[in-house]
Amino acid sequence: MRIMKQLKIKEKRQRFQQTRGFTVFESLLVLTITCAFIVLFETNFRQTVHIIRGELFVLEFENKLRHQQSQALTRAEVRKISATNNVISLNGEVLLVPKETIFSDFDITFNPNGNIQSIKRAKIVVQLPYHDNQTITYQLQLGSGLYKKTTS
């Protein structure tokens, strides 16, 4: 019995001594490859995030433009939306423009009936520098308050 216990202990020691880990070189090689993949995908991911932020802000701007028009119509009051130096103003409320979008200067006033008041600057140009310098143009139509959106 005693001999059996000693054999089992000896067997466990041999198994433990036979188990080997990775060498330092193998560990560094795997770490280098992993870091290279992370850096490669991180730059693509960052570019994608900038593109999506720009597109989401353009959609938000379109929503704000329609909202200003509907507020002018439902409340029967004059509503303004304007942009100067890449800062959009909605009846005094400031909407900060992210660096992913560049707005041309514009000043639009909606009449109480929802129509555009002035023909001056009835065109809005938005550039998306992270999206291959894509340009979005909104040509506002007098009398109806609608706009035509073109992308180039």
Task: Report how far residue 54's alpha carbon sits from residue 101's, in angstroms, rounded to the nearest whole number.
Answer: 6
Give CA 73 to chain center in angstroms.
32
CB–CB of 78/112 below 8 Å?
Answer: yes
Asked if pLDDT for residue 136 goes beyond 70, the answer is yes
Task: Report how far residue 147's alpha carbon sits from residue 126's, in angstroms, rounded to the nearest whole number.
Answer: 14
Tokens 């433009």 correspond to 65
DSSP 34-53: HHHHHHHHHHHHHHHHHHHH
Per-residue model confidence as pLDDT tens digits over 7-42: 677 676 666 555 566 788 888 999 999 999 998 888
Task: Report how far residue 48's alpha carbon sits from residue 46's, in angstroms, rounded to the nearest whole number.
Answer: 5
Domains recognised in the chain with CATH numbers: 23-151 (3.55.40)
β-strand pairing of 87-90 with 102-103: unpaired
Give, in order, the Cα–Cα distances in Å from 106 to each of 14, 16, 99, 129, 139: 81, 76, 18, 19, 12
Per-residue model confidence as pLDDT tens digits over 52-96: 999 999 999 999 888 888 888 889 898 888 888 888 988 888 888
Length of the chain in residues, anyone? 152
Mean pLDDT of 96-115: 86
Asked if pLDDT for residue 138 goes beyond 90, the answer is no
